[in-house]
Amino acid sequence: MSTHDLKRVVDRPGWTVLDRKATVDLGREGWCAVIRAAASPSTSLDRFHIAIVDSAGLARHTHRAGNVFEAIRIAEAHIYAVA
């Protein structure tokens, strides 16, 4: 993620950024979401990978997004839906 994308993420409640990875923990029984920039060798478009992780640390759902705002929306919506 670019520095500009990271600033957008940390402005939201519950989000932290470390080593080019954004994580949200909304206090939903140990579930969290992790967003990472996904490099695509065939295109210069930004892509983001979202993993929804359960309380045991296992990725339960994965998603892709075309921009950081879509990635944040997907991550937060799934955390509220599953926990």
pTM: 0.77
C-alpha 11/C-alpha 78 separation (Å) is 19
The string of pLDDT tens digits covering residues 31-59 is: 889 998 886 666 656 688 999 999 899 99
| Token pair listed for 51 | 């993993």
Asked if residue 5 has pLDDT above 60, the reply is yes
At 22, give phi and psi (nearest 5°): -105, 135
The string of pLDDT tens digits covering residues 7-21 is: 677 778 888 888 778
3-class secondary structure, 70: helix
Tokens 């309380």 appear where? 55
CB 9 within 8 A of CB 15: yes
